[in-house]
A and B are shown apart, each in its own frame.
Chain A
């Protein structure tokens, strides 16, 4: 990749990286604190401020990844810390989309701490990466990777809303109308947020799988020999069934949520198995 070069012979955005590495956790922390206030106090303007801080954080995060990409000459997704940072961005972006669409700001507190944790780990331990061997057919590879990470983020958000749904469902069924009950959006909305995020994840993961298959054929990689491939396709099928059941079979309530959570668990399992137990070309090294 040809890099634009600054006056001193280095990419012009390079000086931004250390600043953004520190700024990102700070912005996410600010947003999480504001959302916590919005959850705790119905009358507070915390939700609005949380939203503003999160928009700033997402923008800064995009700038950070772009700067890294331009500086390092490849997509900044070469280490587990890069993966965490990109997933954090994906989670934040999907949450922001749902928040804007539904106009609900009391659930940010359940998403932002996870985003913050991922970014703190990434900022603390990650850094610039050098590829030992740049991938063949980088466009296929990079679209595959980006779509997969965005898909993971969407499924993560879907799982969070699924868990919130189950919590609220049990409270209402048991007539335990607690503080959590008062602060949550309607059950029907939580169910819709769960399935909307899962649908987005499904499309992105389908794209990731297709681009992965295409790239493997071009690069001559034995895709079918990798257990990660099978686990991911399995997760995609379970999640696809959950979304289909919601839209076509009229599944509502815990059954639909359990189906989407099963899909997400399979996906998570595929990531853990890939990184810890098997020899896969998907493993971060």
Chain B
């Protein structure tokens, strides 16, 4: 991996302490999920007790991570463990819990955040929900006073990184769960699912997940067949569908384009004669069965009928494995994007150093003054040239005196000072990658 860090650059003063699905068991992660109010308390503590100038907390079912910048926290994992003990009452200081926490400092903390945003650190490789969760974390940090110029810019870079990973690589392609694979397969057979009708047999978790994915891709017409009518009605209400009994399946089958079945019935619920009859009524239009049940709900003989497609968990599992293998192959491309964005972020951070900013800022004004002098020089007599130059120089010096003084003090003012430097770069269009400014900084 390319080393993008620069030993001569000013320290980022960022650390990340957290735990995730790889370092801790589910019950620990569950117990440490922070709600919005608890995130606010954590950020306040980091700022007030730890002296951090900026802080961010990402807390999902698979990770709880604390990012902080500045301050005098000498032992970040100890500080964060104590914070979590206070808020959630869980002691992470003793073994084996001590090993649950990981710590990243400086550029590695930034790289870790980028990996999280891109889904490389997720349980399901490349899953897209994490980007939204990081956005929520930023919004909570802003409410709790934890955000600032560096964290804001860091998150902006993380979102750009995630977007690039999704558009420039295949890290998000292909289904990675059986329910989603089932829906992808439906799309592969039937094309657009917007006008299609679905029959869901069962009202359990798997059926609900598949129905949810079908709704996401535009299916609006649902029928729900379930053994327990009350449960079926509750589920049908969620998908705005109508409920039918299991016995009515042969009657409603001709009206369905996709049948998802996920019950625990010991016998098949859909038999070949019923499907043959349904195909005759629907004039042989394609009919897709997605059998997510074990043992199977759909008679395997239906697969022999023309234009009837039957896929069970084994077939869908194959599709999921393929997608995961493809995603794993895309990881090096995503890592390259992360390295690129990290280098870009660090260049920006370097440009925030006071001395090169002042040099670039003054240089910008001097350059404009020189250019204008040259443009108008011919309008003045030769004997007036020296006085003219002195006049312009004096005006520029006077104009720059106060901004220069304020900029020089920025280093002592923490996040406020950083914001000021950033504003100067932005307002005057000072090139953040100006090689001269960079050289001056060293």
Contact = CB atoms under 8 A, between A and B. Distances in A.
A188 B315 contact: no
Contacts of B190: 186-188
B242 interface: no
A59 to B, nearest CB: 30
11 contacts: A42-B173, A172-B309, A175-B311, A177-B322, A186-B187, A187-B190, A188-B286, A249-B283, A250-B285, A251-B284, A253-B286
A172 B188 CA distance: 9
B286 A42 contact: no
Given A175-B314, A188-B190, 11 more contacts: A172-B188, A172-B189, A175-B318, A181-B188, A182-B174, A187-B189, A250-B283, A250-B285, A252-B285, A253-B284, A254-B306
B191 interface: yes
Interface in A173-209: 173, 175, 177, 181-182, 184-189, 192
Contact-size category for A:
20 to 34
A253 B315 contact: no
Nearest to B169: A43
Interface in B147-206: 168-170, 173-174, 185, 187-191
Interface in A241-255: 249-255
B319 interface: yes
B306 A253 contact: yes
A250 B169 CA distance: 40
A43 B168 contact: yes
A65 to B, nearest CB: 36
Given A172-B309, A175-B311, A252-B307, A187 B168 contact: no
Nearest to B181: A177
Given A177-B322, A253-B306, A187 B286 contact: yes
B318 A255 contact: no
Contacts of B173: 42
Interface in A233-266: 249-255
A250 to B, nearest CB: 4
Interface in B278-316: 283-286, 303, 306-307, 309, 311, 314-315
A253 B284 CA distance: 8
A43 B170 contact: yes
Given A42-B173, A175-B318, A252-B284, A186 B309 contact: no
Nearest to B312: A175
Nearest to B283: A250
A189 B191 contact: yes
A181 B185 CA distance: 10
A253 B188 contact: no
B188 A255 contact: no
A253 B283 contact: no
A11 to B, nearest CB: 49
A172 B314 CA distance: 14
A13 B4 CA distance: 58
Contacts of B315: 175, 177
Contacts of B307: 252-254
Contacts of A250: 283-285
Contacts of A185: 191
Contacts of A186: 187-191
Contacts of A253: 284, 286, 306-307
Nearest to B323: A182
B321 to A, nearest CB: 10
